[in-house]
Structure 1
Amino acid sequence: MNTSPAVSFPWLRVGLGLMLWAMALGAQASLAAGSAQALRELHGKLGDKLAHSPLKRPIVLDSAETDGGLQGDVYAVVDHSLDDVRQALEQSSQWCEMLLLHINNRRCRVAGDTLTLSVVPRYDKPIDQAFELSFTHRTVSSGRDYLQIELAAQEGPMGTSRYRVLVEGIPLGEQQSFLHFAYSYDHNMVARLATMAYLATFGSHKVGFTVVDKKPGGDPEYIRGLRGLVERNAMRYFLALEAYLDGLPVPAANRADKRLRRWFEGSERYPAQLHEIDLATYLGVKREDRQRDAAPAR
């Protein structure tokens, strides 16, 4: 693979929008995942952070850089029952609908328990410039008090591998749930160096959500670099999950448009980190994708 900056940087800007959709906690979270009791204990430990989140919502976002790759997490209280979450994510085709809310995800195909996502380097690039990432969908646990569903891919583009996407949750009363939405992957040295080069040049102005200091005027100084990139995309994909859930009670004919608008509105709540394009352009791209994939093959 050609890894010169001219080739790598455009992919790193958005391909990492998918690949750095990175969410899996650091040491504390990875130990906490895997059961209803463990997730309840974690919910208790994060109670104060959820109640006083700088994101102005009950969300805790974490990220980590490791020797083997990148990882991060979103923990959130959502106004949906655990049954709603289960019904929304139990099929691979539903995951496709959810993932396609992201501006750079342009196509998703399902074959059994495998979903293949096509991602372009920029939203305005044609679909034939997309790379593909194939995930195996699996429900690990689906009880009344605990849900865990995961996607896994052994290989990815640009020297990446061992992808794992995880959604787990517990009920909080009848109409709320506590969710952990996580993603992790490994990358080789070439991919890591190319990412760092991008972040030092074209991506140098991008910031994440973690506040690391204060500017002279008192405004927050946000984290940058690899963790900033992870955090931006962690939030984008959590917002995709939430927008998908918010579309459940909407009549089927209006559901897709509702979800697109909800994803965009959620992203615009954090313009410093997530603003990319205007609503009309976003909706136009997504409607064009639907029309293309609905057209009969020639």
Structure 2
Amino acid sequence: MSKFLVALSQWCRIGLWLSLCAMASGSQAATLEAGSVQAMRELHRKLVDQLAQSPLKRPVVLDSTETDGGLQGDVYAVVDHSLEDVRRALERSSQWCEMLILHINNRRCRAEHGATGEKLTLSVVPRYDKPIEQAFELAFVHRVASATRDYLLVDLSAESGPMGTSHYRVLLEAMPLGNRQTFLHFAYAYDHNMVARLATMAYLATFGSHKMGFTVVGKTSDGGPEYIRGLRGLVERNAMRYFLTLEAYLDGFSVPPPERADKRLNSWFQAVEKYPTQLHEVDLETYLAVKREDRQRDAGTAR
């Protein structure tokens, strides 16, 4: 493997929300179609049985698609939080920052209000044990496209990223299921060119050969489930990690404000560890130490 592929494959270990080992290309990105409350109701009706019988042992359905120009991932879920709580968690870029830094590789996030709207800048390291100086930055525009009594639509977009990446789109839509539950659809899409695709596949065939997603594609020799691997497996791991950041952030509202940061960190780690085959990276002590370091560093910067 060339030095270039080794360097690029290192970035693929990030497990980043947007799977940033994909380099931008001139081809058209996978599209994310914004819906409506009527479309969400129909979607929930179609998925109600799958949600109830999900092999993830909770009402969550994962879907991943590989296109000619990139990848698209979707998570559909029912959460035990009201739509008002979801809206409260996602209506400002500063809250997205608080949510995103629950991921162990996300080491800093800055929110600001610019002339074109709210923005957030996320600093991501290639591995959790790398210093913040090795982080790259992603600048997202945050937009609340719709916020009615029975429907919420929020999207994030980033035109450029490291190593020539571009055209990221993240979409979150939600509708109430009674007063205490919400049906969520989280989706993202991005481009990659052939060089990036081959580099990612090289990583997945070597350093990442043990990594797998959630979709069951068959049975192993001992009769257990055989999970999808490769690019779609990568997408599914990323999608689940970031869905769990959202849920952990929502869980934080159940305790007084001074306790919320610790509550969310513990909730995210515990949720990830329910799927050790796909998502385990570090132990709780290491995870909390990394996040404590981030908190102390940013508090010192703010003074």
Question: Which TM class, normalised by the smaller chain length?
Answer: over 0.9
Kept in 1: contact 2:32–2:169 (CA 8 A): no
Alignment counterpart, residue 175 of structure 2, candidates 162, 170, 179: 170
Matched residues, number: 289
- Identify the residue that residue 9 of structure 1 maps to in structure 2: 9
Alignment counterpart, residue 295 of structure 1, candidates 273, 297, 300: 300
**Does the alignment pair 1:185 with 2:190?**
yes
| 1:197-216 paired onto structure 2 within 5 Å | 197-216=202-221
Q: Distance in 2 between matches of 1:78 and 1:240?
A: 13
How far is 1:34 from its partner? 1.1
Kept in 2: contact 1:267–1:275 (CA 8 A): yes
| 1:47-196 paired onto structure 2 within 5 Å | 47-112=48-113, 113-196=118-201
- Identify the residue that residue 265 of structure 2 maps to in structure 1: 260
**Does the alignment pair 1:20 with 2:19?**
yes
How far is 1:216 from its partner? 1.9
Kept in 1: contact 2:107–2:294 (CA 8 A): yes
Q: Secondary structure at the match of 1:244?
A: helix
How far is 1:256 from its partner? 0.3
**Does the alignment pair 1:234 with 2:239?**
yes
Q: Which amino acid aligns with 1:132?
A: E
Kept in 2: contact 1:21–1:237 (CA 8 A): no
Which consecutive residues of structure 1, in runs of 5 or more, have no partner in the other structure?
A: 23-28
Kept in 2: contact 1:159–1:188 (CA 8 A): no
How far is 1:249 from its partner? 2.2
Q: Secondary structure at the match of 1:17?
A: coil
Call closer, same or farther: CA 1:297–1:98 in 2, change over 3 Å.
closer
Q: Secondary structure at the match of 1:57?
A: coil
Kept in 1: contact 2:51–2:59 (CA 8 A): yes
- Identify the residue that residue 26 of structure 2 maps to in structure 1: none
How far is 1:242 from its partner? 0.2
Q: Distance in 2 between matches of 1:36 and 1:297?
A: 41
How far is 1:192 from its partner? 1.6
How far is 1:19 from its partner? 2.3
Q: Distance in 2 between matches of 1:120 and 1:289?
A: 12
CA-atom RMSD in angstroms: 1.8
Q: Which amino acid aligns with 1:6?
A: V
**Does the alignment pair 1:42 with 2:43?**
yes
Q: Deviations over 1:139-185 (max 9, x none)?
A: 00000010000100111223422111111000000000000011111
Q: Secondary structure at the match of 1:158?
A: helix
Which consecutive residues of structure 2, in runs of 5 or more, have no partner in the other structure?
A: 22-30
Q: Distance in 1 between matches of 2:284 and 2:20?
A: 22
TM-score (norm 1): 0.93
How far is 1:3 from its partner? 6.8
Q: Distance in 2 between matches of 1:297 and 1:63?
A: 40
**Does the alignment pair 1:286 with 2:291?**
yes
Call closer, same or farther: CA 1:138–1:297 in 2, change over 3 Å.
closer
Q: Distance in 1 between matches of 2:170 and 2:87?
A: 15
Q: Distance in 2 between matches of 1:163 and 1:206?
A: 24
Call closer, same or farther: CA 1:3–1:114 in 2, change over 3 Å.
farther
TM-score (norm 2): 0.92
How far is 1:120 from its partner? 0.2
How far is 1:81 from its partner? 0.5
How far is 1:20 from its partner? 2.2
Q: Distance in 2 between matches of 1:98 and 1:21?
A: 19
